[in-house]
Chain A
C-alpha cells in the first residue's frame, strides 16, 4: 500500500489544523455560512437531511485493516455505529456534528486518511478496478498510476476551482470494472504495438442530467507523458468549460460544443506547450510509487485444503463461491466479494462491528488488503483457496455472507430521500423491496445489474443499469422512471427510457414483470442485457404497459 511521505503527512496535518480553526471561527460567528460553506465542502462536510454528513476519501478504493478499524471506531465514537460505502468507493457518515469534525480528521490523519477533494469543483478521488493487482491480464496494477494522479491533482493550484467537479477512473484490464467510459476522464492502461507501457485516454463520459459515453481522445500515450497530457486537457477545460450554468459545466458538454476533433486539437496544442513536467521525472516517480504496490508474497499452490469437500457439504457456501469469488492471477488464490446487499437490507451500509470484522478477516486472510467497489461492496483481493471456508463462516455469522454478487439483489442505490437533501424520491426502500421480490429466483435469472438514483444527479448510476430506476417527484408524490439496456462495462451504453413511470407502490412489481419477460424470451445462456440488445424494448414495453 502507498505510505504517506513527509509532504503528504504535513499537508494533511496542516489542512486539519486549518479546518479546526475555520470551524472555531464559524461557531463564534466570525465566518458566515456563505463564507464557510465552500471551506466545509473542501473538507468533505455536507449538510444533509438530518445532520451534517462527512464523506471520507478512500483513494482508489484501497484500505488496510488498520484504516477500516479506524473508520469503524469513528462511526462508533462520533456517529451512529455504521457507515455507507458509496458508488465512488468512498464512505459517508450521516449523523455528524460540526464540532467533532476536527477531532475526526485528526483520527483519520493518524491512519493516513482524510476527506479532502471529496466535494467541490476539483479533481475528485480517482477510482479504479477493485480487482487491481489481483486479476490476471492487467497491463499493470492501475493503483500506482491512480496514486500518481492523486499526488499531481491534490493541492494543484490551477485546478482547485474548476467549472465543475472532475472525476477520473482508471483500469488496466480489457474488462472494465471501473466504469471508465462514464467518467470525465477514463484511463485504460495498455501496451502499444511495440509492447511499450502506456495509456489510452477517454474523455467526456458522465451520467447525471446529460448521460454520455466517453470518446477516445488519445489512443495511446507513453506513461511519462500522462501528467503533461492531463494538465493540458485540464487547462483547456478550465479555460473553456462553462461557468455560467452548472448543468452545462462538465467537460462532456464542452466536448459536445467543440466536437472531438477540435477538443483534440486544442489539447494537443496545449500539450505541445507544456515544458514544466519532465516525462523522465514522471517515470521515476511512478517507479517509486510502484514499489508501494508490489504484489503480496503469494505462493502458487495447488493445495486447496478441504475446499472440495466443504463445497460438496455446504450448499450455501458453494453458492457463495460461485457468485462471490473470482480466480486470482496466482493459482491457489481467489478474489472475494463481500456483499453489502443483504436481502432487504440497505445497499452499501455496514455496521461498525461488521467493519471491524472485515478488517480482522483482511488481516488474517487477505494480506491486510481491502477494496471498496463502485458497486457498494467490499473485496478481499488475495485469499488462499484453503482459507475460503473459514472466511465464509465468519462472514455469514456476521450477516455478510449473502451470495448475490452481480445478481438481481446486488442493487446499487444512492441514499435518496432518506438522507440526501437533493433527492426527489427514495431509493433505498425501492432496492429493499426489489431484492426481497427477486431473491428466490435470482440464481436462475443470472447476471443482472439494477441501479437506482433518487434524483437526476445519478449517483446510483441508473443510466448504466441493465435496469435503471430514477426516482422523481410528480405533484408531491414519488414516481419512478425505468430505463433499460444501460451498461457501465467495456461495452458501455446508456439505458433508454421505457415509458411512463410508476408509483412507489408499483415500481418493484414493474421490475418483476421485466424480469418475467426476460426469462420468457431469453435464449440459451443470454444475460438480461444480451436479450435486451437482441430484442429491443418492445416486448418489455408490451408486458409493462399493455394492460395498463
Chain B
C-alpha cells in the first residue's frame, strides 16, 4: 500500500507547505499527515481543494512518500527537492533550517492564524 501526503504552495508567500495535524499547513514534510487508504487520500485531496478555494494555498496535490518512523521522504526527486531546497545551494530552502512558522489553518469556514 502506498502512502501519500498533501502538498501545495502558500498563496501569499509562495513557499512549499504540507498539510499537518488539525488542518494546519506546515513547512516540514515530516510533520505532514499521512494517508494510506483510498478514503484517507480522498479526504486529504478534499482538504487541499477546500484550502485552495479559501485562497490559503495554490496547486495542492498528493505526493507519494516513503513513510518512516519520523520522516516522510518523497519517492520522486522533484518532490524530495521541494521538501529540502535546491541540491546546488544547500544554504537555501528548508534544508538550511529556515522553516516557516506553522501559522495558518483552514477550518472549513475561515483561515485562522494560530
Which residues of A are interface residues toward B (Cβ below 8 A)? 26-29, 32-33, 47, 49-52, 80, 95-99, 346, 417-419, 423, 426, 428-429, 432, 476, 478
Q: Which 10 A-B pairs have the closest CB atoms?
A: A29-B55, A51-B14, A418-B86, A52-B14, A97-B13, A428-B88, A99-B12, A33-B58, A418-B88, A97-B14
Per a CB cutoff under 8 Å, which of A51, A417, A432, A476 touches B15?
A51
Taking CB atoms, residues of chain B closer than 8 Å to A50 are 15-16, 81-82, 85-86, 92-93
Q: Is B77 among interface residues, defined by CB-CB distance under 8 A?
A: yes
The answer on a CB contact under 8 Å between A432 and B88 is: yes
B58:A417 contact, CB within 8 angstroms? no
State whether A418 and B15 are in contact (beta carbons under 8 Å apart), knowing that A49-B81, A49-B82 are contacts in the complex: no
Contact partners of B14 in chain A: CB under 8 A: 47, 51-52, 95-98
**Alpha-carbon separation in the docked complex, A419 to B82 (Å):** 9
Contact between chains at B81 and A47 (CB < 8 Å): no
Given contacts A27-B55, A28-B55, A429-B87, contact A51 B9 (CB under 8 A): yes
Closest chain B CB from A349 CB (angstroms): 9
- State the majority secondary structure of interface residues on B: loop
Which of B13, B52, B59, B75 has the largest number of chain A CB atoms within 10 A?
B13
If A51-B15, A417-B81 touch, whether A26 touches B55 (CB-CB below 8 Å) is yes
Q: Give the docked Cα–Cα distance between A432 and B86 (Å).
A: 14
Contact B52 A33 (CB under 8 A): yes
- Cross-interface CB contact of B9 among A47, A80, A99, cutoff 8 Å: A47
What are the residues of chain B within 8 A of A418 when measuring CB–CB? Answer: 81, 86-89
The 8 Å CB contact of B88, one of A99, A346, A423, is: A346
Point out the residues of chain A lying under 8 angstroms from B76, CB to CB: 476
Say whether B11 contacts A98, CB under 8 Å. yes
Smallest CB-CB separation from B13: which chain A residue? A97
Cβ proximity bits B85-102 to A, threshold 8 Å, 1 near / 0 not: 111110011000000000
Say whether B54 faces chain A, with CB atoms less than 8 Å apart: yes
Give the complex CA separation of A382 and B9 in angstroms. Answer: 45
- A–B complex contacts, Cβ < 8 Å, 23 sampled: A27-B12, A33-B58, A33-B59, A47-B14, A47-B59, A50-B16, A51-B13, A51-B15, A80-B92, A95-B92, A96-B14, A97-B12, A97-B15, A98-B11, A98-B12, A99-B12, A346-B88, A418-B86, A419-B86, A426-B87, A428-B88, A432-B88, A476-B77
Cα of A47 to Cα of B58 in the assembled complex, Å: 9
- Give chain A residues whose Cβ lies under 8 Å from the Cβ of B54: 29
Given known contacts A50-B86, A97-B12, A476-B77, what 8 new A-B pairs fall within 8 Å (CB)? A29-B55, A47-B59, A51-B9, A51-B16, A98-B14, A418-B88, A423-B78, A478-B77
B55 with A417: CB separation less than 8 A: no
Q: Which residues of B contact A419 (CB under 8 A)?
A: 86
